Amino acid sequence: MTEEKLAELRQKLARATQLLFYRHHMEPGAKRWELKRALGRDYEQALKLFEDEISKLGLQLKLVREGEAESESDRFYITFKGRPSLTDARTFGWRIDDMAMLTVALAHILAKGGKAPLKEIERVLEEKFPRWRMESTIDRFIRRGYLSEDEEGLVYIGWRARAEVDQKTLLGLLLGKEEGEKSGEPKEEQTTKTQEDEKE
Amino acid sequence: MKEREELLFRIIDLCESVSKRGVDPFDVQVREFFDRLDDILPKLKKYEDLYLDIQAVLGLADVVFQQGEWIKHKSSVLYLDPLLIMLKLHALQPQDLADVLAQSWHPIVEMEAISPHGIREAMEYWTELPPLGERWRGLETTEVLTGEVARRELARMGILSEEDFVAVLDKAWRELKAAAGEKEEIQYWDFIMEKSFEKTVIRAWLVSFLVSYGYATLELKPLEEEILLKPLPKPQRPEHALTFSVPISISREEWARRRKGD
């Protein structure tokens, strides 16, 4: 490879880093057309090299399609290659309850074929969590893009959950999970429904 | 007639419950409903009923689409028995549920940074921002509450006489019936047109009450750009028909243009 070609490649990698790591407007990542415009026609080759580089840091490039076929609006994100432990997740600012609520909401939506009425999800969550916590948490999930809601009150899997959560693994693990298995985490943070909550 | 309307409303409602409330699309007997729609179609005469028929057909088409999506989902790798999933969600403790998420989770890595352009904009904003005292100074305005114009007030303004409002409406209705004649319909503008603009507006205002109170109906023909007024033999409130508001602009220019046309 000539010096000139190498310099061009380095420049493309730097541009890809800027586009993919830094948040532009509301969502992180970059759309296919943005990458194509910034990196040129051989953007896929540049992205492959970029992925090789970030893979050394335990990261990966994740493609989330807008539809079934390839589209210019498909979005690329950088995500963890591996999975955080439950303890790590709590250091990111997540509570055990929040994670449990997201699991219930996502699994419920997936079981219903990709969409479910909000009221139905709330009914399922209410069995385990106090209403005041559940409502604010669902709102936060919607704001952060884990869930999305339409005007009819139907809830869908949001863009962030499509990028971050391996849906097949989630359902598989859920079905194979036995109560108390492999958790072993302290439970002091939970605010599951108590008799007092039920009185309210 | 009522039975036909009821059937149409029932189909529309059922289709909506599939798309909006997550009812199983296979619970809808699409074929049977299409057969019944086919039977009643020749008997539908009114535009309102035909419109309902279109809505019902579109609703059933959407149900067929939902059935397709359901089959696609069931045949995908993500399909697992919903009942089993529900049982698991019910049985597992929050700690176990959180563990499931952690094991299938690859969080997005993102960073935030401000660009030189952003810094420049922020600096300009800060230097141009008035002091807090100035910003909190309210506008010197008097708050006036909104309210309805009473009929007496309208009379004072010369818009409506002291004559009973129902009697005025009744008179306008009889005039409309006479103007419509045997055809039982008249062009909207032909009926409201008066020698002065003010009188035309009053007549248009009365027509709006005639239509709202069920003394007459309006038919819009967007292609012909026509609005037809049809007096009803006796006042009736539409109970099952879909009603909607129609804004009709009556400007002085439009009135003058039509007067010249006369």
Task: Give residue A199's pLDDT band: very low, low, confident or very high (50, 70, 90).
Answer: very low
A199 part of a folded domain: no
For residues A52 and A93, membership in a common domain is answered with no
Q: Write out the two tokens for B131.
A: 């002091």
For residues A90 and A167, membership in a common domain is answered with yes
pLDDT digits (tens, 9 = 90+) for B98-113: 999 999 999 999 888 8
For A144, the closest chain B residue by CA position comes to: B108
The pLDDT of residue B126 is 92
A183 part of a folded domain: no
Q: Phi then psi for B184, rounded to 5 degrees?
A: 60, 25
* A49-84 burial: b if 16+ Cβ within 10 Å, else e: ebbeebeeeebbbbebeeeeeeeeebbbbbbbeebb
CB contact under 8 A, B78 and A166: no
- In chain B, where does the domain assigned CATH 1.10.10.580 lie? 151-261
The pLDDT of residue A38 is 92
A20 part of a folded domain: yes
Domain final residue, candidates A33, A51, A80: A80
A200 part of a folded domain: no
A2 part of a folded domain: no
CATH number, domain of A102, equals 1.10.10.1210
For residues A138 and A90, membership in a common domain is answered with yes
Q: Which residue has the higher pLDDT, A34 or A92?
A: A34
Q: Which amino acid is at B109?
A: V
How many other β-carbons are positioned within 10 Å of the β-carbon of residue B176? Answer: 22
Distance from CA of A131 to the nearest CA of B (A): 15
For residues A107 and A164, membership in a common domain is answered with yes
Chain B residues whose CB is inside 8 A of the A127 CB are 90
The complex scores an ipTM of 0.85
Strands A75-80 and A147-149: unpaired
For residues A75 and A94, membership in a common domain is answered with no
Which is it for the CA torsion A144, A145, A150, A156, positive or negative? negative
A60 part of a folded domain: yes
Task: Give residue A187's pLDDT band: very low, low, confident or very high (50, 70, 90).
Answer: very low
Site of tokens 């239509």: B211
Cα B99 to Cα A183: distance, rounded to the nearest angstrom = 6
Our count of domains for chain A comes to 2
CB contact under 8 A, A174 and B20: no
| Closest Cβ–Cβ partner in A84, A86, A171 for B85 | A171
The pLDDT of residue A200 is 38
* Contact status, residue B147 vs residue B137, Cβ threshold 8 Å: no
| B70 touches A at CB < 8 Å | yes
For residues A21 and A76, membership in a common domain is answered with yes
Task: Give residue A190's pLDDT band: very low, low, confident or very high (50, 70, 90).
Answer: very low
For B77, the closest chain A residue by CA position comes to: A168
For B81, the closest chain A residue by CA position comes to: A111
For B111, the closest chain A residue by CA position comes to: A22
pLDDT digits (tens, 9 = 90+) for A129-174: 988 889 899 999 999 999 999 888 899 999 999 999 999 899 989 9
A36 part of a folded domain: yes
* Residue A158: half-sphere exposure toward Cβ, Cα within 13 Å: 18
| B69 touches A at CB < 8 Å | yes
* Contact status, residue B49 vs residue A139, Cβ threshold 8 Å: no
Tell me what the mean pLDDT of segment B216-226 comes to.
79
**DSSP secondary structure of A101-168:** HHHHHHHHHHHTTSEEEHHHHHHHHHTTS-HHHHHHHHHHHHHHTSEEE-TTSEEEE-HHHHHHB-HH
| Closest Cβ–Cβ partner in A60, A120, A182 for B99 | A182
User: What CATH number has the domain spanning B151-261?
Assistant: 1.10.10.580
Q: Phi then psi for B58, rounded to 5 degrees?
A: -65, -40
Closest CA relative to residue A90, chosen from B209, B174, B99: B99
Largest CA distance in chain B: 82
Task: Indicate the average pLDDT of chain A.
Answer: 85
pLDDT digits (tens, 9 = 90+) for B146-160: 555 556 666 666 666
For residues A109 and A168, membership in a common domain is answered with yes
| Closest Cβ–Cβ partner in B70, B86, B100 for A113 | B70
Q: Which residues contact B143 (CB under 8 A, 6 or more apart)?
A: none
For residues A108 and A52, membership in a common domain is answered with no
Chain A residues whose CB is inside 8 A of the B107 CB are 79-80, 84, 92, 164
Strands lying side by side in the sheet with A59-64: A30-31, A75-80, A59-64
Domain final residue, candidates A80, A114, A129: A80
CB contact under 8 A, A78 and B108: yes
For residues A92 and A72, membership in a common domain is answered with no
Distance from CA of A41 to the nearest CA of B (A): 25
Name the strand (E) or helix (H) holding A7. helix A3-21
How many other β-carbons are positioned within 10 Å of the β-carbon of residue B233? Answer: 7
| B19 touches A at CB < 8 Å | yes
Distance from CA of B50 to the nearest CA of A (A): 26
Q: Write out the two tokens for B176.
A: 């409309």
Residue A186 scores a pLDDT above 60: no
Q: Write out the two tokens for B209.
A: 């009450």
Residue B123 scores a pLDDT above 60: yes
Cα B257 to Cα B251: distance, rounded to the nearest angstrom = 10
Domain final residue, candidates A25, A59, A80: A80
* Contact status, residue B148 vs residue B182, Cβ threshold 8 Å: no
* B137-172 burial: b if 16+ Cβ within 10 Å, else e: eeeeeeeeeeeeeeeeeeeeeeebeeeeeeeebeeb
| B42 touches A at CB < 8 Å | no
Helical residues (DSSP H) of chain B, grouped into ranges: 2-21, 30-40, 47-74, 82-91, 94-103, 116-128, 132-135, 151-156, 165-180, 188-192, 197-212, 252-261
Tell me what the mean pLDDT of segment A28-43 comes to.
91
CB contact under 8 A, A190 and B95: yes
Residue B78 scores a pLDDT above 80: no
Q: Provide, rounded to the nearest whole percent, the portion of chain A with pLDDT above 90.
A: 54
Closest CA relative to residue B94, chosen from A87, A190, A186, A105: A190
A3 part of a folded domain: no
For residues A162 and A97, membership in a common domain is answered with yes
Tell me what the mean pLDDT of segment A100-127 comes to.
92
CB contact under 8 A, A83 and B105: yes
Q: Write out the two tokens for B93.
A: 């403790």
| Closest Cβ–Cβ partner in B78, B90, B95 for A187 | B95
* Domain enclosing residue A169, as ranges: 86-178+189-194
Residue A197 scores a pLDDT above 60: no
Distance from CA of B172 to the nearest CA of A (A): 43
pTM above 0.90, yes or no: no
Burial of B232 (0-12, 13-18, 19+ CB in 10 A): middle
For residues A91 and A156, membership in a common domain is answered with yes
Cα B141 to Cα A17: distance, rounded to the nearest angstrom = 54
For residues A122 and A42, membership in a common domain is answered with no
